[in-house]
Amino acid sequence: MMTSQWSPRMAEHVEDAKKVVCELHAELIKWNLVVWTAGNVSQRVRGIDGAEDVLVIKPSGVPYDRLTPADMVVCDLDANLIIGEHSPSSDTAAHAYVYRHMPEVGGVTHTHSTYATAWAAIGEEVPCVLTMMADEFGGPVPIGPFALIGDDSIGRGIVETLSKSNSSAVLMQNHGPFTIGEDAEASVKTAAMVEEVSQTIWAARQMGDLIPIPQEKIDSLYYRYQNVYGQHSEGASDSE
């Protein structure tokens, strides 16, 4: 793909996405979701004026406190580098696979946050025993299969697992959480939520037996949160 063929509008959208993605990496630090250079956020830029979709993601191995919008790299949805002076994140192929196979997804985040990654290390899903989990995930946060980094194996595991779940997050076994959203900001929010519930439910399990929520109640809570809560309706009054 030749960027010289992009229209001014498409080029502007890409530059805007680079700023957004750079800023969102600071949110990973803020919410204690990553250490050193681990983790990554990407955003899909939907093609306009004849251009194809691309993704913007951080470069590999550059410390967070040194990242600038100019450092962000742009790849096509086959993970080929289009723009950037650095090599793309080692997880780029996984992000690209998600975008190719889940057209509704506009953002992907990967972290190694402590508690979520601990659940991944034991290969156990995070059970849905909190109303906030029912709201956000519509059930447990599922475990995805073990996969090696470097090709689209992780991406395949993400897509296969989430296709069978309401969840916008998956814990890849022995690796860590990947989250999706309508845009990059939404996927970062979900990453923070995954860590929050992973820690809370771990703590609860140290205190005693977890109390399941019946599936019909989970379904009701999920429907309300996704369709009524917040600015969806004037009738929403939940303070969460």
35 three-state secondary structure: coil
Helix (H) or strand (E) holding 143: strand 143-144
Of the candidates 61, 66, 55, 65, which has an alpha carbon nearest to the alpha carbon of residue 18?
55
- How does strand 40-45 pair with strand 107-110? antiparallel
CA dihedral 92, 97, 98, 102 (to 10 degrees): 150
Q: CA-based angle 183:188:190, to the nearest 5?
A: 100
State the first-to-last Cα distance of the chain, in angstroms, to the nearest integer: 45
Q: How far apart are CA 84 and CA 76, in angstroms?
A: 12
Q: Which sequence positions are flagged as catalytic?
A: 110, 112, 135, 175, 229
Q: Kindly state the tokens that stand for 73.
A: 């790299």
CA dihedral 186, 189, 194, 195 (to 10 degrees): 150
DSSP string, 172-185: ETTTEEEEEESSHH
